[in-house]
Structure 1
Amino acid sequence: MLKKLIIFFGVLMILGCGYKPVSVLTKEIIAEKVYVDVVIKKSDPANSVAIKDGIREAVIKRLNRDLSSQSDADTVIIANIANVVFVPTSFDRFGFVNAYEAQVSIDYKVKLSNGEPLSIIATGKSYFRMNRQVLDTIYTDSVITNQDRYNAIFEASKESFDELIAKLALKGYKLKKD
């Protein structure tokens, strides 16, 4: 009986304080039809493709939103790559790098459904291990493969998008309070 009473008061407190999950706040600030584009860097177009794929997947899977053309969209998200860095995180006994952290910083320009423009910088990280083959205790390959690079940037861009959503939800919460 005491357990039920504690749960009841806990739920009552959460409802009473106006708690809303991030998903609800995000739905209030990002419309159903979303346009996503990434400004392609001429110096590194492969990163741009991985980031665009990651952000689009995040919009579809995390927000359950439809992608649309820019003319039909209610919310427009334009991503500019601020920085992509690979930092060694682990070394083997011979001093070769065997794990990296991909760090992706993206400058998002977001036009919300109410027409308000926002500029938000968000960062994502992704860890990965090197896939090396050993031949007589000598490594045959100690270079990041294109697939490893793409996957790491793809995952880091999704994490960056999660940070963007959290910041947008906070913005939505502040707008509701005012």
Structure 2
Amino acid sequence: MKNFGYFSRGRRNFLSPLLLTVLLLSFAGCGYKPVAQYGREQIPDPVYVDVRLSGMEPQNGVFLKEEIMRILRTHFQERVVSDKSAAVSRLIVPGYKIDYSPLAYDTHGYVIRYRVTVDIDFILRTPKGELRKHIGGTEDVNIQPGSLTSATAREYAIRTAIRKAMDNFIAYVTQKGYGK
């Protein structure tokens, strides 16, 4: 009887690594790829980012370009170039609009919370073709009476809304190219 108990215990020790190996191989063999990898396949690098600045708010255009370049570098490890002729892909933003809507007021009638809405037109040109999409993003922000705090909160809200719009655009590009 002692041998039977030893055998069953040894069998369990043998089956655990075997089961783990089978599960890992089946997961790896199912074709799973992270979304970032699909994004890299749809937007080959190097990438040139061209944001046409608005005459009304050129500072927001700079925020927009910086945020797009940061997302391409960090999320997709894309190489962003400053020379248009050296790029394989071009991400063009011919137009954008940034609006502020008050959401809450204090007892004196000053705005203490507002919503930043970003509407961006994207054009993606790659060797596979051209893709156009209009996408928006929003972010709510609380503001303080101090001007420095308000400016920092405003910049944070703009960048966050841009990031949300860019994430939606990348998801759209990935979905359009999925399975091709």
> Which of 74, 82, 98 is equivalent to 1:61?
74
Match of 1:31 in 2: 44
Q: Which has the higher helix share?
A: 2
Name stretches of at least 5 consecutive residues in structure 2 with no aligned partner: 1-11
Task: Rate the CA distance shift 1:48–1:96 in 2: closer, same or farther, 3 A.
Answer: same
2:58 and 2:26 mapped to 1: Cα distance?
52
1:13 and 1:115 mapped to 2: Cα distance?
30
Match of 1:130 in 2: 143
Q: Contact (CA 8 Å) 1:122, 1:160: kept in 2 or not? A: yes
> What is the TM-score with the length of structure 2 in the denominator?
0.75
Letter in 2 for 1:28: E
Q: Contact (CA 8 Å) 2:37, 2:76: kept in 1 or not? A: no
Q: Contact (CA 8 Å) 1:103, 1:126: kept in 2 or not? A: yes
> What is the TM-score with the length of structure 1 in the denominator?
0.76
Q: Quote the offset at 1:59 in angstroms.
A: 1.3
Match of 2:163 in 1: 158
Letter in 1 for 2:116: A
Q: Contact (CA 8 Å) 1:107, 1:121: kept in 2 or not? A: yes
Q: Contact (CA 8 Å) 1:102, 1:125: kept in 2 or not? A: yes
C-alpha deviations, 1:2-35, integer Å up to 9, x for none? xx97xx779947954x443211211211112111
Match of 2:174 in 1: 169
Letter in 2 for 1:159: K
1:34 and 1:123 mapped to 2: Cα distance?
22
Letter in 2 for 1:172: G
Q: What percentage of residue pairs aligned between the two structures are identical?
A: 25
Q: Quote the offset at 1:146 in angstroms.
A: 4.3
Match of 1:104 in 2: 118
Q: Contact (CA 8 Å) 1:84, 1:102: kept in 2 or not? A: yes
SS of 1:71 mapped into structure 2: helix
Q: Contact (CA 8 Å) 1:38, 1:78: kept in 2 or not? A: yes
1:11 and 1:98 mapped to 2: Cα distance?
54
1:128 and 1:174 mapped to 2: Cα distance?
39
Q: Quote the offset at 1:170 in angstroms.
A: 0.2
Q: Contact (CA 8 Å) 1:48, 1:81: kept in 2 or not? A: no
Kindly name which structure, 1 or 2, has the bigger radius of gyration based on alpha carbons. 2
Task: Rate the CA distance shift 1:100–1:10 in 2: closer, same or farther, 3 A.
Answer: farther
Letter in 2 for 1:86: Y
Name stretches of at least 5 consecutive residues in structure 1 with no aligned partner: 134-140
Task: Rate the CA distance shift 1:146–1:51 in 2: closer, same or farther, 3 A.
Answer: same
Structural mapping, 1:7-86, within 5 Å: 12=26, 16=30, 18-68=31-81, 69-86=83-100
